[in-house]
């Protein structure tokens, strides 16, 4: 372990904006994809259910 | 066990549903372990300081961007040759995640290039061919979306995907074939890796985490695609009672 304090960890040896800019955006994009996937599946399931209720397969 | 059974969307849908949580859990556990190694076990680099820690997402994302493209083109080709619906759906399901990995590789590379090279972007062979990969993914999705009839869209997009495969070895070998600002491979199959063991370990654990993430994301997306495209099939109607 090379960090003397929490502040030292977050300052990343002076490269904070680059390291956290890279990791932060990656995290946001990946979590975002998971959210989008969940919504898409819920919507697809809802539409399929509605179609099934409306008289089953055409 | 008859594996061909799972080549039909109807049997694959519930199977994928059971597999997805396993891959999500693996992805999260491995990512936590990889980030722990990357931030708390791996030492500070004597040349690049802590800026090098971007490697723990940059390299896994870059590897996945190329690997997903090959798998996507493989499924697309299979769908084209064998005329199997599910293969083409798998290709469509992989494209957005592949594009995401490509974007992450470019973005994190840019944030790594700025402190180490002094520039966000340079038109060298590695960076340019990786950008072309992003355009190939976007082109695949745009072409597929522009054709109304799904099976025709599958076929047209498959051809684009197959032609685009030529770009993957160009990306991979670009650092050898041309004089690039981008460094050569730190890890290769033919010689010992040129980096500290803990750095390498963190990178490999993160790479497997990204792999598991990609599988979970693609399986989740293919389930939505199956529901969207097969909604008029009888089995979708029967699905409603169970889940």
- The domain locations on chain A are 6-55
Tokens representing residue B161 in the block: 């995907």
Show residues of chain A in contact with B58, CB under 8 Å.
22
Q: Which of B20, B82, B91, B89 is nearest to B230 (CA)?
A: B89
CA distance A4 to B125: 40
What is the C-alpha end-to-end distance of chain B, expressed in Å? 25
pLDDT tens, residue by residue, A1-57: 688 899 999 999 999 999 999 999 999 999 999 999 999 999 999 988 888 777 655
Tokens representing residue B81 in the block: 């040759």
pLDDT score of B185 = 80
CA distance B140 to B84: 18
Inspect the interface and report whether the beta carbons of B228 and A51 lie closer than 8 Å.
no
Alpha helices for B165-230 (secondary structure H): 167-177, 197-229
pLDDT score of B189 = 64
> Is some CB atom of chain A closer than 8 A to the CB atom of B236?
yes
Which regions in chain B score pLDDT beneath 70? 1-5, 189-190, 192, 240-243
pTM for this predicted structure: 0.93
pLDDT tens, residue by residue, B140-194: 999 999 999 999 999 999 999 999 999 999 999 998 898 888 988 877 766 767 7
Nearest Cα of chain A lies from the Cα of B12 at a distance, in angstroms, of 15
Size of chain A in residues: 58
Nearest Cα of chain B lies from the Cα of A19 at a distance, in angstroms, of 6
Nearest Cα of chain A lies from the Cα of B190 at a distance, in angstroms, of 30
């Amino acid at each position: 372990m090379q960090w003397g304090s929490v502040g030292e960890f977050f300052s990343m040896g002076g490269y904070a904006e680059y390291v956290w800019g890279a990791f932060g955006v990656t995290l946001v994009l990946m979590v975002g994809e998971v959210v989008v996937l969940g919504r898409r599946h819920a919507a697809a399931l809802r539409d399929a259910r509605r179609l099934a209720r409306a008289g089953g397969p055409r | 066990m008859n594996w061909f059974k799972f080549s039909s969307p109807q049997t694959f849908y519930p199977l994928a549903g059971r597999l997805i949580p396993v891959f999500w859990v693996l992805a999260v556990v491995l990512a936590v372990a990889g980030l722990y190694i990357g931030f708390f076990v791996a030492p500070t680099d004597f040349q690049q300081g802590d800026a090098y820690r971007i490697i723990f997402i940059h390299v896994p994302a870059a590897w996945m961007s190329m690997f997903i493209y090959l798998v996507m083109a493989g499924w697309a080709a299979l769908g084209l040759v064998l005329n199997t619906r599910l293969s083409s759906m798998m290709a469509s399901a992989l494209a957005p995640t592949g594009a995401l990995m490509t974007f992450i590789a470019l973005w994190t590379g840019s944030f790594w290039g700025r402190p180490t090279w002094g520039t966000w972007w340079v038109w060298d062979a590695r960076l340019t061919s990786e950008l072309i990969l992003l355009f190939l993914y976007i082109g695949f999705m745009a072409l597929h979306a522009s054709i109304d009839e799904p099976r025709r869209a599958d076929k047209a997009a498959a051809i684009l995907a197959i032609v685009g495969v030529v770009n993957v070895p160009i990306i991979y070998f670009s650092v050898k074939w041309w004089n690039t600002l981008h460094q050569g491979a730190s890890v290769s199959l033919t010689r010992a890796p040129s980096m500290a063991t803990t750095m390498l370990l963190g990178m490999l654990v993160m790479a497997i985490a990204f792999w598991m993430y990609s599988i979970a994301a693609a399986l989740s997306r293919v389930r939505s695609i199956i529901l969207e495209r097969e909604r008029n099939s009888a089995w979708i109607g029967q699905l409603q009672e169970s889940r």
